[in-house]
Amino acid sequence: KMNSKICFCTFFIVGKIYLAVIGQSVFGLEVYKELRKEGHTIVGVFTIPDKDGKADPLGEQGKGIPEVVQVYKATGAELNVMPFCSQFIPMEVIDHPAHALLYPLHGFDNRTLIHGDKKGGFTVFWADDGLDTGPILLQRECDVEPDDTVNTIYKRFLFPEGVKGTVDAVRLIAAGNAPKIVQPEEGATYEGIQKKDNAKIDWNQSAQALHNWIRGNDKVPGAWAEVDGQKVTFYGSSLLDSGATAIGQPLEIPGASQPGLVTKAGLMLFGNDGKTLLVKNLQFKDGKMIAAARYFSSGSSASVELTEEEKAFGVWKSILTNVDAIEDSTDFFKSGAASMDVVRLVEEVKLRASGCQLQNEDVYMNTTFQDFIQMCVRKLRGEDDEEELVVDYVEKNINNMTIRMPHQLFINGEFVDAEGGKTYKTINPTDGTAICDVSLAQASDVDRAVAAAKEAFEEGEWGKINPRDRGRLLYKLADLMEEHQEELATIESMDSGAVYTLALKTHVGMSIQTFRYFAGWCDKIQVREISIFVILTLRVCAIVIPWNYPLMMLAWKTAACLAAGNTVVLKPAQVTPLTAVKFAELAARAGFPKGVINILPGSGALVGQRLSDHPDVRKLGFTGSTEIGKHIMKSCAVSNVKKVSLELGGKSPLIIFSDCDMDKAVRMGMSAVFFNKGENCIAAGRLFVEENIHDQYVKRVVEEVKKMKIGDPLDRSTDHGPQNHKAHLDKLVEYCQTGVREGATLVCGGKQVSRPGFFFEPTIFTDVQDHMFIAIEESFGPVMILSKFKSGDVDEVLRRANATEYGLASGVFTRDISKALYVSEKLNAGTVFVNTYNKTDVAAPFGGFKQSGFGKDLGKTC
């Protein structure tokens, strides 16, 4: 270690002169290319054999091979350039040229990392008999990142900057102004090359010291320890945040302060200070490397049946030429392969098998010929190497298809039962029968899900994945949802009572659009005036959604969270959980890492409250009633001041002027009220109709209501299906009874339909005064509330329309564009529809004012 630098000893001689290149490796090739670009003449290239770490025969004898030295001297080299020269160089070669030697030793001192240095770099020396003890020509340095290894610094800095530094040194020599700075001896230290025997881990250290030791010895010689009676080498260390927790299986490690923990992300280790680090890969004495997360299942592997074409593709058998016959059990490293052979193997397979993207680690983890072939074929086929997703389906033959529904909690990539095996029945509102038993999440299940979401971000690949790859996953998920759209729509219709055609177009269709929209935003950068910016991911987000649009509300909130890089714990409405858990299955099959998406059917009082209170949840998105929203907001503030987005109740006014298109106003006015059985957060809760067309409008609407077909939501001709659940149906009956008691005129409807299920008649009230309960409170059902306003009195009707504590949506019908613009500006609502209604779009922000909540769904500003 020299001056706390990473000692990257680079010795070169450059000018427009005759050069001899002595060395090997890709680094040497790049130096060779750059020197030729500079206009120098390369008079000779001398490579030095270095096979399998065997002793250097030249170094043992202390002299060169006479005939080779003679050939070298005959080249007339004025300068020796020695990129990556790891073997003995005779002094007669060093001293022969007119210029002193420059020598690059690729790599750097492991102890720079072991000692926790914050800066690293390399030095270009004038060579002497000690090579790297001569005068300094130039130096370059870089920051050492917290999780850097020798390899990462080499790739990021030492390789590219080493090549540049070598060429710069040559330019200085050619210009005649290359400095010679004598190395100071004060403070200098020398430590021998780190060897395997000396790399044993001392567990009686802090997590930081353990991390430095492991990464400082990664990949060579490799930090090791005794585990289960065998020598195990540790690779891929990273420090974890203070207080990190995880779910996993304990692993006893002799000498450690406490057992390690094999988690989904890797092997969690503990320092004597209680802090933690994570190791990604483990290697056994026989050379076999595994992902640390698979320590307890390292012996299991799934076989791949090869096609005849794949069997005939013999690229792999052309690699190990030193083995007479390659069998399935042939081990790559036991057959004499070394690290350079790994690089050669990876690069040749990538060249010959287009699309097979290998990493060096793939070879270490698949050391036998059979394992290696199967791994390559999986990559070529695009198959997931993860274990099979296990789903306990409930199957039903319905809507001319067989639907398969998960019914358990989804935590950390697995469908699991709730604590204690607790379940509840979800009911089909069409006939009141039970669909199936669904797992009922408990507080401990919430804690497990949040821990999984936190671990997925902090320790798993999700927190490191680049935005473009997140976008690809979202696109893939949207494609899977589209493939299953009829099944999703059928489940939604059966579980919530939504008319199938509406479920297919809106509930499912808009959900797919939402995921594709946010997938497209993943890799977009919006910067106007500043060139440096930081996007802070919230990490763990909780989502609590309502029962009126089970899948669409999930999509509106989840897609944006995932696109931004967060992980999600979602509680669907207790009465409509089935499309949410089906969504979880599709997300897993799309390839989302474990823990990124977690689904917890259960009660709001238990699951919703625990999510509001949980200290590891950093944001909560809620759609539901204003009353519950206030309670959630308070809990979020008291717990850890978590961010909150609330989409709450509404009483959206719709103003119909006498100069409207009457046909459109009737058609769209009915849609504004009866769309999705009135279970619509932006439904027109009150219609103000100009008095000179009021009676005509009521007559037309009643005529159209009588034409509506009430029936099975899976019947393609049905206009109006059942209300979502029994308690809601009972509230609608009570709501209408209150309206009659207060003096409003019940024109039609107002009661339950006489048939099985939770059907409620489309209802129309007139003569509704501003003080009445039904004029103030939301019905959230198929109830049209009609009031007159004086002809021409625009400001008065605006005053009445705005006299509400809600401000989610509103609408106006008129042919007068000036009037439409004036009314739109004055209405206090997050959305104003003009001569239309219910026309939401995934690109348009959605949200309300006042007690309808705050924060936006959809659009780029959500």
Q: Is 89 marked within a binding site?
A: yes
- Which neighbouring-strand residues pair with 22? 46
| Amino acid at position 763, single letter | T
End-to-end Cα distance, the chain: 51
CB atoms within 10 A of CB 419: 17
Distances (CA, A) of 560 to 106, 480, 587, 621: 45, 18, 15, 11
Q: Is 246 marked within a binding site?
A: no
Give CA–CA dist 635/755, Å, rounded: 42
CB atoms within 10 A of CB 432: 13
**Per-residue burial over 388-416, b = 16 or more CB atoms within 10 Å of its CB, e = otherwise:** eeebeeeebeebeeebebbbbbbbbbbbb
Give CA–CA dist 801/803, Å, rounded: 6
CB atoms within 10 A of CB 130: 8
Give CA–CA dist 377/304, Å, rounded: 8
Q: Is 608 marked within a binding site?
A: yes
Q: Is 571 marked within a binding site?
A: yes
Give CA–CA dist 217/224, Å, rounded: 9
Phi first, then psi: give them for residue 544, nearest 5 degrees. -125, 115
Q: Is 556 marked within a binding site?
A: no
Give CA–CA dist 296/44, Å, rounded: 54
Cβ atoms of 837 and 671 closer than 8 Å: yes
Q: Is 357 marked within a binding site?
A: no
Give CA–CA dist 571/624, Å, rounded: 12
- Catalytic machinery residues: 647
Q: Is 851 marked within a binding site?
A: no
Name, in order, each residue with C-beta under 8 angstroms of 481's C-beta and a sequence gap of 6 or more.
488, 508, 511, 512, 515, 583, 586
Q: Is 606 marked within a binding site?
A: yes
How do strand 434-439 and strand 831-834 relate by DSSP bridges? Answer: unpaired
Crossing angle of helices 662-674 and 691-707, rounded to 10°: 60
Give CA–CA dist 750/747, Å, rounded: 9
How do strand 783-789 and strand 763-766 relate by DSSP bridges? Answer: parallel
Q: Is 325 marked within a binding site?
A: no
Cβ atoms of 464 and 629 closer than 8 Å: no
Q: Is 780 marked within a binding site?
A: yes
Q: Is 605 marked within a binding site?
A: yes
Q: Is 338 marked within a binding site?
A: no
Cβ atoms of 263 and 337 closer than 8 Å: no
Give CA–CA dist 316/349, Å, rounded: 7
Q: Is 229 marked within a binding site?
A: no
- Give the pair of three-digit tokens for residue 238: 């990273």
Q: Is 625 marked within a binding site?
A: yes
- Give the pair of three-digit tokens for residue 143: 């920051």
Longest dimension (CA), the chain: 117
- Which neighbouring-strand residues pair with 806? 850
Cβ atoms of 432 and 722 closer than 8 Å: no
Phi first, then psi: give them for residue 763, nearest 5 degrees. -125, 145
Q: Is 545 marked within a binding site?
A: yes
234: enclosing H helix or E strand: strand 230-239
| Amino acid at position 239, single letter | L
Q: Is 126 marked within a binding site?
A: no
Binding site: which residues?
A: 87-89, 132, 545-547, 571-574, 604-609, 624-625, 731, 778-780
Annotated binding site for NADP(+): 545-547, 571-574, 604-609, 624-625, 731, 778-780
Which residue ranges are tagged as binding site for (6R)-10-formyltetrahydrofolate? Answer: 87-89, 132
